[in-house]
Amino acid sequence: MNVQMVENKNDWEKFFNDYGSASFLQSWQWGEFQKTLGYDISRLGFWEKGELRMIAQVIKIKSKRGNFLFIPHGPVINCRQFSCQKSYLKTLRDFLVNLAKKDNFSFIRISPLALDDHQNQKLYRDLGFKTAPVYMHAETMWILNLNPSEETLMANMRKTTRYLIKRAGRENVVIEKRTDEKAVDDFYRLYEETARREKFVPFSKKYISNEFKAFNQTGDAVFLFGYQKKTTLASALIIFTRSTAFYHQGASIHSKIPVTYLLQWEAIKEAKKRGCQFYNFWGIMKKGRTPKSWSGLTLFKQGFGGQQVDYLPTQDYPVKKLSYTMTVFLEKILNWKRGV
C-alpha cells in the first residue's frame, strides 16, 4: 500500500462520509480542533492500486504520563473482510512504529470503532496490541436509530421518560437552539456548576469554545438551552456528521422541572430534521472501564430507547517497553482518581 498525507479536505471528507461518518473524532473538523489545543496531527491516507482504502487521523500526544501516537475512533477502512482489515491494520501499525521510533513516541494507542467481538479482539491481539489501562473516548455507547417516525420513537421510550417530556411542555419549558458566540459563555457557566456538583474535572472554556467553533464553521454544531421563566436550567452541545448526531457536552441545574428530557427530545428531532440516521448519546457506564458515578446518567440516556453498542476497548502497542510500563502505572492511578 502507498501511504501519504491527505492534504485535501474534500478528499478526506468524501471518504469519511462514504464509509459511515460514525464518529466525529475522525472528521476533518476534529483535527482542526486538536491543532487549536497545540497538538500536531497527521492525516494518513492508504492507497491500493490508486484507490483510497483507509484513513487514519493521528494525534501526537506528549504528556506527563507518556508520549504516544493516538488514533481516536479510527481508522476508517473501506473493507469488511477480516483478511484485508488485518492487512491494512498491519500496514498502519508498521508505519506508526517507524514514526514513533523516529519522533521519540513510546507507544501507539488506538480507540477502534470496531465492535467488541471475538473476531476484532483476535484481530488486534494477533497484531500485538493489548487493552489500554484507561479509556480515551467513549467505548460503550447508547445509540438510537432515527429511522422510525417521531411517534414511534416516543412510543419506544421508557414510560417515565415519555411522561417527563410531556410534563416539561406543560410546565412551559422552552428549548432554544443557538450558534452565537455568547452561547459558549452561557453554556460554560452552567457547565462549571455541573462539574462542582458532580465532582468531575471540567474541560477548559478554551476547549469547549474551540470545539464548538471548529464544528460550527461547517454548520455541524449547535447549543440547545432549556429555559423556564427565562431561567436557564440545562444546556447541551450537539455535534453532527452526515450520519449521526452526538450528545457530546451537557450541563444542568438540579431542578424538579424535567427540562433535560425535553432538551434531549428536541435534539433528537433536530437530528432527524438534518437527515441523520442515528442519535448517539455518547458514553454509558461499563464496569471496570468507566466511573461508577455514571450510573444515573446511563439510566437517563437509556430511557429514550435505543441500544447499547460495545466497541473494542482502547488498544495499545508498546514501542518503548520501559516507558510504556511507567505510563501504565500512572494511568492506573488515574483510574483510581476517576473512580473506575
The total of structural domains in the chain comes to 2
Cell triple for 258:
424535567
Query: How does the average pLDDT of the chain come out, rounded?
Result: 95
Could you give the CA distance from residue 335 to residue 324 in angstroms, rounded to a whole number?
Answer: 16
pLDDT at 293 over 90: no
195 and 250 inside one domain: yes
212 and 251 inside one domain: yes
Percent of the chain with pLDDT over 70: 100
Q: What is the mean pLDDT of residues 2-12?
A: 96
Tens digits of per-residue pLDDT, 61-83? 999 889 999 999 999 999 888 88
- What does each C-alpha distance from 300 to 165, 247, 248, 260 come to in angstroms? 12, 13, 15, 9
71 and 155 inside one domain: no
Tell me, what's the pLDDT at 289?
Answer: 87
Cell triple for 77:
477502512
Cell triple for 15:
471518504
Tens digits of per-residue pLDDT, 82-105? 889 999 999 999 999 999 999 999
pLDDT at 287 over 90: no
Lowest mean pLDDT among 24-33, 176-185, 196-205, 298-307: 196-205
pLDDT band at 292 (very low <50, low <70, confident <90, very high): confident
Longest CA span, the chain: 62
Which pTM does this prediction carry?
0.95
The whole domain housing 201 covers: 141-310
Tell me, what's the pLDDT at 335?
Answer: 83
pLDDT at 143 over 90: yes
Percent of the chain with pLDDT over 90: 89
Tens digits of per-residue pLDDT, 310-332? 999 999 999 999 999 999 999 99
Q: CATH number of the domain that 63 lies in? A: 3.40.630.30
Tell me, what's the pLDDT at 74?
Answer: 96
Tell me, what's the pLDDT at 230?
Answer: 87
For residue 72, is the peptide bond before it cis, meaning its omega torsion is within 30 degrees of 0?
A: no
87 and 159 inside one domain: no
Taking the mean position of all CA atoms in its chain, how far away is CA 311? 12
By the 8 A CB rule, do 238 and 226 touch? no
Instruction: Give all strands of the β-sheet with 278-283 in edge-to-edge order.
Output: 174-178, 221-228, 231-240, 244-252, 278-283, 140-145, 307-310
159 and 298 inside one domain: yes
Q: At what angle do helices 159-170 and 259-273 cross, to 10 degrees?
A: 100
pLDDT at 243 over 90: yes
Could you give the CA distance from residue 177 to residue 323 in angstroms, rounded to a whole number?
Answer: 47
Tens digits of per-residue pLDDT, 39-56? 999 999 999 999 999 999
Tens digits of per-residue pLDDT, 188-209? 999 999 999 888 889 999 999 9
79 and 155 inside one domain: no
pLDDT band at 10 (very low <50, low <70, confident <90, very high): very high
pLDDT at 107 over 90: yes
160 and 293 inside one domain: yes
88 and 174 inside one domain: no
Could you give the CA distance from residue 244 to residue 221 in angstroms, rounded to a whole number?
Answer: 12
Nearest to 48 by CA among 18, 78, 27: 78
Amino acid identity at 283: G
292 and 254 inside one domain: yes
318 and 271 inside one domain: no
Could you give the CA distance from residue 61 to residue 53 in angstroms, rounded to a whole number?
Answer: 26
119 and 157 inside one domain: no
Q: What is the mean pLDDT of residues 266-278?
A: 98
101 and 89 inside one domain: yes
Pairing of β 107-111 and β 66-72: parallel
